[in-house]
Amino acid sequence: MAQLLFKDVNKVYPNGYHAVHDFNMEINDGEFICLVGDSGCGKSTTLRMIAGLEDITAGEFYIDGKLANQMSSRERGIAMVFQSYALYPHLTVYENLAFGLMLEGIDADVIEEKVQATAKILGLTDYLERFPRNLSGGQCQRVAVGRALIRKVSIFLMDEPLSNLDAKQRVTMRSEIKQIHRSVGATTIYVTHDQTEAMTMSDRIVVMKSGGYVQQIGTPYELYFYPKNLFVAGFIGEPPMNFLKGKIEGGNFVNEAGLSFDIKPIVKDAASIEGKAVVFAFRPEAIKLAKNGKAGKNEYLIESSVELTELLGDTTNVYANVGDFNVILKVNPHDTPEMGSTFKFCVPYKAAYLYDQETEEAVPSDMKRQ
């Protein structure tokens, strides 16, 4: 197992592109960390710097307290799983698993033992004599994981390992990888653009934005309930958070849709944002029906016109307009409003967020989210 420390780590590619800016983080022994963000935000670059496949342009990277900037990949004690699996097509599953160990000159009976043990963990025992072309995508991915696992490394790096699988296989492999992590305990850094994967698998998530800027580092709970800025608020959660632009006037949030909400209950210091352009935000799943068209205690009331409804089974997505703003609301299917109708809903104070439009940062609040 290994503890990792990044101090102001930067990557500038030879063509001058600055792909990662001031990455700072401490990763504990055995933690499962996801790097998440849109394509091109610097996730793979960060992973490749950890692996020693890319030079670190500036800053320091430590493994177990030792400066690792110049360490070879081998010295770092890492194994990496790629999106493409990178299996040898002309070798059987057994040989694919054994290959790295054979190169290291390990005894055949030790290899046999390790291959059998790894195959057992991954449910590959019955497939050891098959070639990759005769395996499903999920099985190929298991072999790729097995190849990394068999080397008993202390750092496990995975770059979008599930993106070639179909939705059902992804869900299965997600929990398998988690289980493997639990039993092996290696510090794991996992790159994905899929926030559901990140939310379900991680101890902590690093949200990155294009240009290689870290936006927030936190547990799935922290990122969902306490997003620090508009980017994270919009990135974590599906459907995404609703944003209504407006400004603060006389301690109220007001906007062109005719909303006027006293914001004192939900911010630390209303006076400090007087006159500012802000965004009022709430999650689709956090709203409540307005009983008799009225807000309950500690709730804001919003009127919307319903454009479209989508029954998903356990819930209905309602696409509606609040003035000129589009919102998505999740409601109980039995309470689905008619398309074209007016729908009044409530946002509990504890589910209402305010962001500064200029800085895009959350307006400080003591609100305990639930």
Number of residues that bind ligand ADP (CB under 6 A): 12
| Alpha carbon distance 75, 71 (integer Å) | 6
Contact call for residue 183 and ligand ADP (CB under 6 A) = no
Region binding ligand ADP by CB under 6 A among candidate stretches 14-22, 246-254, 272-280, 318-326: 14-22
Choosing from 15, 72, 292, 370, the residue that interacts with ligand ADP (CB under 6 A) is 15
Contact call for residue 234 and ligand ADP (CB under 6 A) = no
Structure tokens at 91: 């070798």
Minimum CB separation of residue 192 from ligand ADP in Å reads 10
Task: Kindly list the distances between the CA atom of residue 268 and the CA atoms of 241, 357, 365, in Å, as whole numbers in the listed order.
Answer: 22, 17, 5
Choosing from 17, 110, 175, 364, the residue that interacts with ligand ADP (CB under 6 A) is 17
Q: How many CB atoms lie within 10 A of CB 359?
A: 11
Please name the residues in contact with 212: beta carbons below 8 A apart, sequence gap of 6 or more.
Answer: 11, 18, 19, 20, 21, 23, 41, 42, 45, 46
Q: Which x/- pattern over 124-153 shows residues binding ligand ADP (rule: CB under 6 A)?
A: ------------------------------
Contact call for residue 45 and ligand ADP (CB under 6 A) = yes
Contact call for residue 161 and ligand ADP (CB under 6 A) = no
Q: Which is nearer to ligand ADP, 56 or 347 (CB)?
A: 56
Minimum CB separation of residue 49 from ligand ADP in Å reads 9
Minimum CB separation of residue 287 from ligand ADP in Å reads 33
Region binding ligand ADP by CB under 6 A among candidate stretches 15-23, 62-70, 96-104, 133-141: 15-23
Minimum CB separation of residue 157 from ligand ADP in Å reads 12
Q: Which is nearer to ligand ADP, 13 or 88 (CB)?
A: 13
Contact call for residue 19 and ligand ADP (CB under 6 A) = yes
Contact call for residue 316 and ligand ADP (CB under 6 A) = no
Structure tokens at 174: 């997600």
Choosing from 4, 43, 114, 150, the residue that interacts with ligand ADP (CB under 6 A) is 43
Contact call for residue 42 and ligand ADP (CB under 6 A) = yes
Angle at alpha carbon of residue 352, lines to 346 and 356, rounded to 5°:
135
Whether residue 284 has a cis bond before it, omega within 30° of 0: no
Region binding ligand ADP by CB under 6 A among candidate stretches 13-21, 142-150, 254-262, 303-311: 13-21
Please name the residues in contact with 167: beta carbons below 8 A apart, sequence gap of 6 or more.
Answer: none
Contact call for residue 40 and ligand ADP (CB under 6 A) = yes
Contact call for residue 220 and ligand ADP (CB under 6 A) = no
The widest CA-to-CA distance across the chain, in whole angstroms, is 78
Given its phi and psi angles, is residue 105 left (phi above 0), alpha (psi -120 to 50 degrees) or beta? left
Task: Kindly list the distances between the CA atom of residue 159 and the CA atoms of 35, 44, 115, 125, in Å, as whole numbers in the listed order.
Answer: 9, 7, 23, 25
Q: Which is nearer to ligand ADP, 212 or 284 (CB)?
A: 212
Contact call for residue 39 and ligand ADP (CB under 6 A) = yes
Region binding ligand ADP by CB under 6 A among candidate stretches 41-49, 214-222, 231-239, 352-360: 41-49
Q: Which is nearer to ligand ADP, 122 or 201 (CB)?
A: 201
Region binding ligand ADP by CB under 6 A among candidate stretches 43-51, 58-66, 238-246, 331-339: 43-51
Minimum CB separation of residue 237 from ligand ADP in Å reads 20
Under a CB-based contact definition with an 8 Å cutoff, are residues 132 and 89 in contact?
Answer: yes
DSSP string, 262-331: E-GGG-S-GGGGTT-EEEEEE-GGG-EE-BTTB--TTEEEEEEEEEEEEE-SS-EEEEEEETTEEEEEEE
Structure tokens at 261: 């909400």
Where are the alpha helices (H) located in 52-166, listed in sequence order? Answer: 73-76, 93-103, 108-122, 137-149
| Alpha carbon distance 299, 99 (integer Å) | 62
Minimum CB separation of residue 240 from ligand ADP in Å reads 19
- Which helix (DSSP H) or strand (DSSP E) does residue 27 occupy? strand 18-27
- Applying CB under 6 A, the residues found at the interface with ligand ADP are 13, 15, 17, 19, 37, 39-45
